[in-house]
């Protein structure tokens, strides 16, 4: 049995701000069938420690970046967990990264350096007799693990997964001492990035293997448009980089068993889910498609493009229902748009409602300017809600465009558009409208979508093979 320690700053269902948590929470179960035992190391946030009240202490740190800390192990939500019980770092209100007023915690560099430090310590010295063969970190919050592993003399193989390169964990070099970093490694072949310390660059340069969450995003990372200044590093490490597509928990996201929705097991059942959603939103029946959006409201997600073409959507008899939060300007603009009876907007996060939106919508809009993988389009596929996606990253890898050839072969599952502009999105919705008005073609699209493999099976095999390749005979 392969032993792997996953190191992450969030993990569903315990603590979540985005897709990273979904992946970290799903991987252990997906890999169990591949002969991999994965433990997950998390910061001891209140939400984590609250479910580990009977946990066993397996380690102690006299000074973990400013105070004493326990390492505890336990089980919760079907996960085999290690948690860092360090109240001076993690026993705080607010989210994992921000305070209740929405500002970054000023000691975030030290907080997540502590996560990396403990991960490297467990990899080097074990935890209650358990020793991982692979140390698998996620994003910048685990990026310094390779630096600390080097300092501790550890030889464990390392993997770093890039979920979103836009966040690289940069901080001032004046923190070299507080972060316990070797100053002789502050150079271009180490963790230096444009005069700053970059936790992500440390992991990119130091890990034995790099993965990212879709094959297309792996290619995009090597370009100036998507590399966020790290494209040179990605080109340098191209032979260590693997694009492994994310999956979703297709048993939890199942329209036939989902308790949050009007259930259905075929496209024919969607009509009841749509009628229930329209009634809940107090929307009239309409001739055109009901478009739904479940998203963070940021520039990356391209929702400003939807606002630009909203008059066209409504003129064509369409409707729009939105759930999300983020940029105050976008929130305000969508609230203003909701004065129209064919537009419904809810600001915030509400998973049961998101499921009702996805189940009841005809199409789900994902017009992201960049998208490492994306999960909402996969939820849409699972529920027969046709994705309309930008041709980028994982969106390109998971949706088969309804081109004439794909339609003729009966394999299309959605509509892609490029470039990521309002005009191109408007043209894509015009194409979708034509498909919607052809009942036979639309039904085939829905059937294709609902039978598209979106689970973890194939990706789990790829991760297990990567681990085996790393730890096999040299």
For residues 161 and 8, what is the distance between their CA atoms, to the nearest angstrom?
Answer: 10
16 is in an annotated binding site: yes
Q: How many CB atoms lie under 10 A from the CB of residue 102?
A: 8
Three-state helix/strand/coil letters over 426-448 = HHHHHHHHHHHCCHHHHHHHHHH
As a whole number of Å, the end-to-end CA separation of the chain is 19
Edge to edge, what strands does the sheet with 386-390 contain? 343-347, 319-326, 290-297, 363-366, 386-390, 415-417
Give the residue among 259, 321, 329 at the shortest CA–CA distance from 294: 321
For residues 327 and 350, what is the distance between their CA atoms, to the nearest angstrom?
Answer: 17
Q: Look up residue 240 and give its DSSP letter.
A: G
Give the residue among 74, 86, 82, 79 at the shortest CA–CA distance from 112: 86
- Tokens 């792997």 sit at which residue? 4
Give the residue among 356, 223, 247, 237 at the shortest CA–CA distance from 294: 356
Which residue positions form the known binding site?
16
Which residue positions form the known binding site for ADP-alpha-D-glucose?
16
């Amino acid at each position: 049995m392969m032993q792997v320690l996953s190191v992450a700053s969030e993990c569903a269902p315990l603590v979540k701000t985005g897709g990273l948590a979904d992946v970290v929470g799903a991987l252990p179960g997906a890999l169990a069938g591949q002969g991999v035992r994965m433990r997950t190391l998390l910061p001891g946030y209140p939400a984590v420690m609250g479910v580990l009240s009977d946990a066993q202490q397996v380690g102690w740190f006299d000074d973990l970046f400013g105070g004493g800390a326990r390492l505890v192990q336990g089980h919760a939500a079907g996960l085999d967990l290690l948690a860092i019980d360090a109240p001076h770092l993690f026993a705080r209100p607010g989210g994992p990264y921000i305070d209740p007023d929405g500002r970054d915690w000023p000691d975030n560099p030290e907080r997540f350096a502590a996560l990396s430090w403990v991960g490297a310590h467990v990899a080097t010295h074990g935890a209650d007799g358990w020793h991982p063969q692979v140390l698998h970190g996620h994003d910048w919050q685990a990026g310094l693990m390779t630096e600390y592993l080097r300092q501790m003399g550890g030889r464990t193989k390392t993997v770093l997964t890039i979920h979103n390169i836009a966040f690289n964990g940069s901080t001032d070099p004046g923190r070299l001492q507080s972060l316990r970093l070797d100053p002789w490694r502050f150079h271009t072949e180490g963790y230096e990035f444009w005069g700053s310390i970059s936790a992500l660059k440390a992991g990119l340069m130091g890990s034995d293997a790099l993965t990212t969450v879709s094959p297309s995003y792996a290619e995009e990372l090597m370009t100036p448009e998507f590399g966020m200044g790290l494209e040179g590093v990605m080109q340098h490490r191209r032979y260590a980089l693997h694009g492994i597509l994310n999956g979703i928990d297709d048993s939890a996201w199942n329209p036939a068993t989902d308790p949050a929705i009007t259930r259905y097991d075929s496209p024919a059942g969607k009509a009841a889910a749509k009628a229930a959603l329209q009634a809940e939103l107090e929307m009239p029946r309409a001739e055109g498609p009901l478009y739904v959006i479940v998203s963070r409201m940021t520039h990356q997600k391209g929702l400003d493009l939807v606002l630009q073409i909203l008059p066209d959507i409504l003129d064509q008899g369409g409707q729009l229902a939105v759930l999300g939060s983020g940029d105050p300007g976008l929130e305000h603009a969508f609230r203003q748009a909701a004065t129209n009876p064919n537009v419904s907007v809810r600001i915030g996060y509400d998973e049961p409602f998101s499921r009702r939106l996805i189940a009841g919508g005809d199409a789900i809009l994902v017009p992201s300017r960049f998208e490492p993988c994306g999960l909402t389009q996969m939820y849409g596929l699972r529920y027969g809600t046709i994705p309309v996606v930008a041709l980028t990253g994982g969106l390109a890898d998971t949706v088969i465009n309804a081109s004439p050839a794909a339609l003729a072969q009966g394999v299309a599952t959605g509509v892609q558009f490029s470039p990521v502009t309002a005009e191109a999105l408007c043209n894509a919705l015009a194409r979708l409208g034509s498909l919607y008005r052809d009942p036979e073609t639309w039904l085939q699209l829905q059937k294709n979508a609902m039978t598209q493999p979106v689970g973890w099976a194939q990706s789990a095999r790829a991760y297990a093979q990567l681990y085996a390749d790393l730890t096999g005979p040299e």
